[in-house]
Amino acid sequence: MVLASLAIAAFSFCPAPSLANPDTSAPVEAASAPAVRDEAAIAAAWHYAGSDLTADPAIRFGVLPNGMRYAIRHNSTPATTAVMRLMIDVGSTAEAEDERGLAHFIEHMAFNGTTNVPEGEMIKILERLGLAFGADTNAFTSYDQTGYLLDLPNVNAETVDTALYLLRETASEISFAPEAIERERGVILSELRTR
């Protein structure tokens, strides 16, 4: 079973911000779907039920009706910034022998277009919000998970809404266009050679 979680905020019901006019500062209204507030269900979903370790009381854990887990923790240093992490519990150990490298390849493809964000636009959208690729926007694949990382330079409504929207696109809307697959194949093989 694949588990996904988002640190900082949940995003499964965020509508698309206006990508046609990225300078708009009107807040995006999110559809309201109540998160699960059953503490036993939350503890089970986050695997801390029955643990001898106590969950950090500063973290608000929750589960959306679709099963997406979220964790939110206030941190005022540095002020007026936020970090978002989309973590998917799939990495190289979930791959069969004929699938080796697939999780890493999918991680790369997330930046090559989604259903609602054309190829080449995701990085541009993030850069318009003040994020630098590599420094503030990145991803990784490990043995047991794939992570997408966004460090937001501010917490204004447009930045947060757009970041949540792009993470939502990454979670299930990667397009896998044949031309993009072929281009990314070269990038992955180049990484393999340099390692």
Structure tokens at 42: 């939350």
Separation of alpha carbons 17 and 25, rounded Å: 10
Separation of alpha carbons 73 and 9, rounded Å: 9
pLDDT of residue 39: 84
Please report the DSSP string for 52-92 in residue order. Answer: SSPPPTTEEEEE-TTS-EEEEE---SSTT-EEEEEEES--G
Residue spans of the chain under pLDDT 50: 1, 8-32
Domain boundaries, given as residue ranges, for the chain? 4-194
Which residues contact residue 134 at a Cβ distance below 8 angstroms, ignoring those fewer than 6 apart? none
pLDDT of residue 15: 39
pLDDT of residue 114: 96
pLDDT of residue 125: 95
Separation of alpha carbons 170 and 86, rounded Å: 9
State the fold for domain 4-194.
Cytochrome Bc1 Complex; Chain A, domain 1 (3.30.830)
Q: Which residues are catalytic?
A: 107
pTM: 0.77
> By three-state DSSP, how is residue 10 classified?
coil
pLDDT of residue 109: 93
Q: Residues in the chain, how many?
A: 195
Structure tokens at 89: 């519990």
pLDDT of residue 36: 58
Separation of alpha carbons 159 and 27, rounded Å: 10
Q: What Cα–Cα distance (Å) separates residue 10 from each residue in 57, 67, 134, 143, 153?
A: 18, 11, 23, 24, 19
